[in-house]
Structure 1
């Protein structure tokens, strides 16, 4: 049976979002442990690492090198899994073990079999303390990196939904069924019993008990929990030869998303904490703002703060946290908060040769214009783009905002994300299109 592509539109930046979404490649849906047991907490943490990496690569102009290290605060990763942070000691152990843990990745499609065999979950992982907070740095095998960055087919996995599921079997079964959320046939692939016990078990070699015991102790509770806590309604379908069950599949139906229980912990996006850190705002302070104003509003005002930090016609921001808090409390624009007069920009570097625009369009959204300029920057040769990166780094250094995190990302080629990306875009667009480049009435070149 041919499955439809699952290509939902990305949520608008700055608007309300229902969940932290992960586009999980189909070839990574089924993870079968080979060298050691994988706990529920470890699988949740690993899923967040994959999601953070995918989000970061989406903002990069090229595939990062094999030794590229992603990074995020440990507490932010745990909170994205739904933890309150009390699992930090166990999480450190799990992360350290992931480098040696080997798994097989299997496709859920009929006849596809094992996609990758004996892969380590992580190629490298490191833990370090920065200003009293534990940070995690990690890398993946190249095949996983390629699949994450540009998945041809994927399933939408909601991380807040995973946080509600209490067993390994529930999480594994939900991810399999999520792939078939939009399948017109309404059923998963039909697989032998051994395939399902391997896919839903966290132990090497799977669970080899007879099917009726595995169904009673693992599958029954998983089905009930998925039907209760998620936007899917699933049902076990058994296929028999004579009176013996030989193959199994699940019926999958979408339903209205359930309303979370009032006492349920809501996960936050680890990337949000990372963006705050880039601006010099510590996780503990950002967390307080999220609790007071809500994650969607904080994300929206972080967008405004990044754009403001990248505007070299305005006075530099002395305290990014205070500025963000003022934006949130007044629910206003940067100009409304400070009323800062523009100052003359410094001399621009010579403009490098850029590709000829394919079209000129008018739009009414600043976000569309910024994305258009980013696409144009992506088309530049690396040496041409580096001119504007160097200029942005100089501006941030002059403002006292060139942090170690920003410098490290610049050296790794992650130059169009966060505050650094805002400064690069602003510098290039101002020199290329003039002061009115972000004005609604002006056309924007889109490459």
Structure 2
């Protein structure tokens, strides 16, 4: 936590950001947000942090803030240009009402406000960038853009979190890591339920389920991904009932990483969420599914569903969404295609997911990039020890100053064996080994070889 520090004013032309530049000074009051109306999601929190980061670089005196949409997408760590889904998250933030209370020896002040003010997206035509412009409500703008008491939150580290609750607890942990007692706020269970889920419609809470489904999973995620600290849950009882909880921040003296090892884990795949929504799954449910389920399992199940829908020998599916959920739960994606070969009428054309040519190319491009990362791992494994050392040394000299500090520390400790830094290293090695951009023909050949043309 830092007091009365100067934030950067409007930055000149943006250079390649360092890990320190890619941090947002987040007002302490804005970390544990309890929405009074509306709902916050993991992606909306990422977008909000990215907008706040750029607002602080541009300066508190600006009446409004402006940025290329592609830059916002990159800094929010998701990989789709689907502006309709982006707009829906911006609407969520505009519709979310928050209460902001401050007090001093002479004044107590309560403010109820939107999280975000007016937002404009301008599509300027071919050859010109799409721009996003935004404002904050005047009552809270200065406290957001130039806060007096704030916590430094690394965009890269925050983006590693796959669930909303873990993203919130990471920021709470960062806030209290440097406080004397390292104890978070102590609040009732209902308060924590709203803060950790981003929901304003919670009327009652069964603490057993909140602990099992939200808190424990978030703590495990923090333990696996955050190198600086872990969190311990502290329960306060009244009689036999747990009525209040708080968290103790525990610095990691001998840091370690857990067993979560998904390629490009820090990217929120909005395209994948979009495929779930196309099936008829509600947006909130699709995002929750994405946050709590292995990404590879979701992809495999979607691919299985696509094969099932294209099988003319099978009866039509009444609800592709219901079939997908059942297939995900029961692991149908591991069943061979012969299990879906029973005779029957052709599926209804209306039940087929609609994917544009651009959607298919983006999906194939993503698979191609993941394949290159896998090839880079194999190439590195076959190198002689001296060549591996030289490659690592080159990575350190070219990239180590550009990546987030926790990832850099993981690299210095574990090198390519690090679960979090290893992914960054092998993505870089793939780009260094095959620097040319793939043409549409290359992607098509790749898709034909892998049998994924119909994705």
State the TM-score, normalized to the length of structure 2: 0.50
User: CA RMSD of the aligned region, Å?
Assistant: 3.6
Shift in alpha-carbon separation, 1:116–1:227, aligned structure 2, 3 A? farther
Shift in alpha-carbon separation, 1:114–1:79, aligned structure 2, 3 A? farther
Q: 2:118 aligns with which of 118, 124, 127?
A: 124
- Measured after TM superposition, the shift of residue 140 of structure 1 is 0.2
Distance 1:96 1:4 in 2: 31
1:169–1:222 Cα contact (<8 Å) kept? yes
1:22–1:157 Cα contact (<8 Å) kept? yes
Unpaired stretches in structure 2, ≥5 consecutive residues: 9-14, 268-397, 404-455
Shift in alpha-carbon separation, 1:16–1:175, aligned structure 2, 3 A? closer
Distance 1:297 1:168 in 2: 26
Shift in alpha-carbon separation, 1:52–1:258, aligned structure 2, 3 A? farther
Select the structure that is richer in helix. 2
- Measured after TM superposition, the shift of residue 227 of structure 1 is 1.4
Match of 2:210 in 1: 214
- Measured after TM superposition, the shift of residue 244 of structure 1 is 1.4
Match of 1:160 in 2: 156
Distance 2:70 2:229 in 1: 29
Distance 2:139 2:229 in 1: 30
1:190 paired with 2:192, answer no
Q: Which of the pair has the greater relative contact order for Cα pairs under 8 Å at 6+ separation?
A: 1
Match of 1:414 in 2: none
Distance 2:168 2:123 in 1: 32
1:125–1:139 Cα contact (<8 Å) kept? yes
2:35–2:97 Cα contact (<8 Å) kept? yes
SS in structure 1 at match of 2:197: coil
Match of 1:248 in 2: 245
Listed one character per residue, the Cα deviations across residues 344-365 of structure 1 (whole Å, up to 9, x for unaligned) are xxxxxxxxxxxxxxxxxxxxxx
- Measured after TM superposition, the shift of residue 92 of structure 1 is 2.1
Shift in alpha-carbon separation, 1:213–1:8, aligned structure 2, 3 A? farther
Match of 2:78 in 1: 83
Unpaired stretches in structure 1, ≥5 consecutive residues: 268-292, 299-447
Distance 2:239 2:158 in 1: 37
1:31–1:106 Cα contact (<8 Å) kept? no
Distance 2:190 2:102 in 1: 15
Distance 1:215 1:249 in 2: 12
- Measured after TM superposition, the shift of residue 27 of structure 1 is 1.8
- Measured after TM superposition, the shift of residue 88 of structure 1 is 3.6
Shift in alpha-carbon separation, 1:149–1:245, aligned structure 2, 3 A? same
1:263 paired with 2:258, answer no
Match of 2:56 in 1: 54
Shift in alpha-carbon separation, 1:25–1:16, aligned structure 2, 3 A? closer
1:81–1:162 Cα contact (<8 Å) kept? no
Shift in alpha-carbon separation, 1:44–1:297, aligned structure 2, 3 A? closer
Listed one character per residue, the Cα deviations across residues 122-167 of structure 1 (whole Å, up to 9, x for unaligned) are 2211000234432110000113221134322111111111211111
Distance 2:27 2:130 in 1: 29
1:236–1:248 Cα contact (<8 Å) kept? yes
State the TM-score, normalized to the length of structure 1: 0.51
Distance 2:137 2:256 in 1: 36
- Measured after TM superposition, the shift of residue 204 of structure 1 is 1.5
Listed one character per residue, the Cα deviations across residues 74-126 of structure 1 (whole Å, up to 9, x for unaligned) are 221122122123554311222245334323346799xx999532x11222110
Match of 1:26 in 2: 28
Count residues in correspondence.
260
SS in structure 2 at match of 1:93: helix
Matches within 5 A, 1:341-352: none
Listed one character per residue, the Cα deviations across residues 359-399 of structure 1 (whole Å, up to 9, x for unaligned) are xxxxxxxxxxxxxxxxxxxxxxxxxxxxxxxxxxxxxxxxx
Match of 1:229 in 2: 225
Matches within 5 A, 1:28-177: 28-57=30-59, 63-64=61-62, 68-105=63-100, 115-117=110-112, 119-130=113-124, 131-177=127-173
Distance 1:243 1:17 in 2: 46
Shift in alpha-carbon separation, 1:34–1:219, aligned structure 2, 3 A? same
Listed one character per residue, the Cα deviations across residues 227-246 of structure 1 (whole Å, up to 9, x for unaligned) are 11123210101011222112
Distance 1:227 1:207 in 2: 30
Deviates more, 1:148-157 or 1:20-29: 148-157
